[in-house]
Amino acid sequence: MSTAVVKCRVLRCARQDEMYIYLRDDLSEDDIPEALRKRTGRLEEVMQLELSAARKLARVNVLDVMQKLESDGVFLQMPPDGRINAPLHFGD
């Protein structure tokens, strides 16, 4: 991993409880792939984070998040135990 710290914003997905998008700080919501944006519904920023190898995240491995943010700029955190209960296949 090339960066010791990755700054990001965490966005809550309106269509699904406990689903979040981590978005690298230098990107905007327009940089989220369109197919993903269509399925998440409205996005609401819930926090800003500085991720590092020393930081612990509750449900995902911080190194996995950092790697995905560095390569793609976006990381999708799914609900725990596959608890998907929203019609994510429908658009707005």
Residue 80, CB-side half-sphere exposure with 13 Å CA sphere: 3
- pTM beyond 0.75: yes
**Higher-scoring residue by pLDDT: 23, 18:** 23
Query: What domains lie within the chain, and their CATH numbers?
Result: 6-80 (3.10.510.20)
pLDDT at 92: 46
> Which of left, alpha, beta for 55 (phi over 0: left; psi -120 to 50: alpha)?
beta
DSSP assignment of 28-70, as one string? -GGGS-HHHHHHH-SEEEEEEEEE-TT---SSS-HHHHHHHHH
* Res. 41: pLDDT tops 90: no
Helix (H, G, I), strand (E, B) or coil at 11: strand
- 43-86 per-position pLDDT tens digit: 999 999 999 999 999 899 999 999 999 999 999 999 887 666 65
